[in-house]
């Protein structure tokens, strides 16, 4: 059983500044941009960042590059809720981000003198300020940009990573001794990591564990230190107990698959009256027909055998649960070979697939061809289904930097 947050940690559930901290090395190098508390009921990442910055300041550790921590949803964090008006991790569609970026001042700030005042939800204000901070940091960057999006779960869980499945994201995530979850970005529309994928930045989502568990804070600390070492910002021997950090994460993930693929999402609404049955942990195995919850229509059962993923044990949220299955390592090898060989060029020749009429980086899939064979092959080639298209449009993932965040229109 995980320990709950200490009183010291709980007391830090307050409204901080947008910037949790910044530690800039004397020498140029990569920028590691950490974003915490995108959901206001997930303070563990922010607390972990504060501890990392405290340790860096205390030791004066030499660094090549920069570590910056940002707080995502200040208003929701102050209220202790997932969000105020809308989920801040569902509002990063290209059109919305473009509109928000257009509203910023010429210098990238969100202060007075705005050309296009943004009126709407609390999260619109948060997104605007967060994008202004991201833009400022990207302009200051002295090397490649890497993003860590720090989250926690409502159920008990081992730490795990999620990525948009580019080769560069996958390679970075596999440096961590935790399960890697692929395909989540196709099940939900408007996640923040999708924005960074369009920019071609390396980006990873890290789920540290259950919201209130002290171990979730420790897991986020461990991940940040490991990434600083992996990316060469600090020497591996310079931080305290680097081997212990990896071992601690590996112990929590013991017995879990190295890589899983999301196969099913159970969408819920307030009208459904959905309730997850108690006692499930993230990654618990289930069989086809197992009753996992109930709604107004009756029992809710697993559609097929697999592992339960992100069971909902909180009031807010429209993801009741997901089902995932282990992905054999051989498929990662095959997909890498296909992508390196440029197999995406032959995608329009597949049955039922044609070039997109307006986009050179996308294809259109006929309804009759949206089966596991065709969609699976397109996945291997590096395409991803846009959440709003129902699989009709698949966009080639951006590998490598596409530019600065002046506009989100650089990709899908």
Query: What pLDDT digit, counting tens, does each position of 193-202 carry?
Result: 999 999 999 9
Q: Are residues 284 and 174 in the same domain?
A: no
Instruction: Single out the residue in 252, 270, 291 at which a domain terminates.
Output: 252
Q: Determine the Cα–Cα distance for residues 299 and 274; give it in Å rounded to an integer.
A: 10
The domain that holds 267 is classified in CATH as 2.40.50
Q: Determine the Cα–Cα distance for residues 28 and 64; give it in Å rounded to an integer.
A: 5
Edge to edge, the sheet with strand 298-301 lists 275-276, 291-295, 298-301
Burial grade of 78 (CB within 10 A; 0-12, 13-18, 19 or more): middle
Domain that residue 273 falls in? 259-326
Instruction: Single out the residue in 218, 252, 286 at which a domain terminates.
Output: 252
Q: Provide the pLDDT for residue 390.
A: 53
Strands (E) in 191-257, as ranges, are 202-210
In three-state secondary structure terms, 216 is helix
pTM: 0.89
The domain that holds 40 is classified in CATH as 3.40.630.10
The count of structural domains within the chain is 3
Q: Are residues 322 and 365 in the same domain?
A: no
Q: Are residues 244 and 270 in the same domain?
A: no
With bands split at pLDDT 50, 70 and 90, how would you rate the model's confidence at 115? very low
Q: Are residues 218 and 101 in the same domain?
A: yes
Q: Are residues 248 and 263 in the same domain?
A: no
Contact 66, 140 (CB under 8 A): yes
- How many other C-beta atoms lie within 10 A of the C-beta of residue 42? 25
Q: Are residues 372 and 318 in the same domain?
A: no
Domain-embedded: residue 267 = yes
Longest dimension (CA), the chain: 61
Q: Are residues 17 and 131 in the same domain?
A: yes
Contact 228, 236 (CB under 8 A): no
Q: Are residues 182 and 300 in the same domain?
A: no
- pLDDT tens profile 10-50: 444 455 789 999 999 999 999 999 999 999 999 999 999 99
- Name the more confident of 362 and 113: 362
Extract the tokens encoding 21.
């901290």
Q: Are residues 383 and 308 in the same domain?
A: no
Q: Are residues 56 and 124 in the same domain?
A: yes
Q: Provide the pLDDT for residue 409.
A: 52
Q: Determine the Cα–Cα distance for residues 85 and 123; give it in Å rounded to an integer.
A: 7
Q: Provide the pLDDT for residue 168.
A: 96
Domain-embedded: residue 293 = yes
Domain-embedded: residue 305 = yes
Q: Are residues 59 and 37 in the same domain?
A: yes
Domain-embedded: residue 54 = yes
Domain-embedded: residue 146 = yes
Q: Are residues 23 and 166 in the same domain?
A: yes
- How many other C-beta atoms lie within 10 A of the C-beta of residue 89? 22
Instruction: Single out the residue in 252, 283, 299 at which a domain terminates.
Output: 252
Angstrom distances, CA of residue 18 to CA of 68, 194, 245, 394: 11, 21, 28, 35
Contact 37, 151 (CB under 8 A): no
Domain-embedded: residue 335 = no
Domain-embedded: residue 195 = yes
Contact 283, 155 (CB under 8 A): no
Length of the chain: 412
- pLDDT tens profile 265-311: 999 998 999 999 999 999 999 999 999 999 999 999 999 999 999 99
Domain-embedded: residue 405 = no
């Amino acid at each position: 059983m995980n320990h709950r947050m200490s009183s010291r940690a709980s007391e830090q559930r307050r409204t901080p500044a947008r910037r949790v901290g910044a530690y800039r090395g004397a020498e140029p190098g990569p920028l590691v941009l950490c974003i915490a508390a995108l959901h206001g009921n997930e303070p563990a990442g922010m607390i972990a960042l504060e501890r990392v910055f405290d340790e860096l300041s205390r030791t004066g550790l030499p660094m090549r590059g920069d570590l910056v921590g940002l707080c995502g949803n200040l208003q929701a964090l102050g209220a202790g809720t997932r969000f105020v008006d809308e989920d801040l991790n569902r509002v990063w569609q290209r059109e919305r981000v473009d509109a928000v970026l257009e509203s910023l001042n010429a210098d990238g700030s969100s202060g007075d003198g705005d050309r296009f005042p943004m009126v709407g939800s609390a999260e619109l204000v948060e997104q605007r300020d967060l994008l202004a901070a991201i833009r400022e940091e990207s302009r200051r960057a002295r090397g490649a940009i890497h993003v860590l999006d720090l989250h926690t779960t409502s159920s008990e869980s081992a730490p795990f990573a999620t990525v948009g499945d580019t080769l560069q994201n996958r390679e970075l995530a596999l440096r961590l001794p935790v399960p890697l979850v692929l395909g989540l970005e196709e099940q939900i529309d408007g996640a923040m990591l999708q924005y960074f994928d369009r920019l071609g930045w390396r980006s990873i989502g890290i789920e540290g564990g259950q919201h209130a568990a002290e171990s979730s804070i420790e897991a986020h600390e461990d991940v940040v230190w490991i990434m600083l070492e992996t990316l060469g910002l600090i020497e591996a021997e310079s931080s305290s107990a680097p081997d212990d950090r990896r071992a601690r994460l590996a112990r929590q993930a013991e017995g879990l698959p190295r890589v899983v693929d999301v196969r099913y999402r159970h969408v819920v609404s307030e009208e459904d009256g959905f309730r997850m049955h108690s006692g499930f942990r993230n990654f618990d195995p289930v069989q086809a027909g197992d009753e996992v919850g109930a709604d107004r229509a009756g029992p809710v059962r697993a559609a097929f055998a697999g592992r339960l993923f992100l069971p909902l044990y909180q009031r807010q949220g429209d993801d009741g649960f997901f089902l995932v299955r282990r992905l054999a390592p051989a498929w990662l090898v095959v997909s890498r070979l296909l992508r390196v060989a440029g197999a995406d060029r032959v995608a329009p020749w597949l049955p039922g697939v044609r070039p997109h009429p307006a986009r050179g980086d996308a294809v259109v899939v006929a309804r009759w061809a949206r089966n596991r064979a065709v969609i699976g092959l397109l996945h291997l080639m590096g395409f991803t289904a846009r959440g709003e298209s129902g699989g009709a449009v698949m966009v080639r993932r951006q590998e490598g930097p596409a530019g600065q965040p002046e506009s989100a229109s650089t990709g899908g």
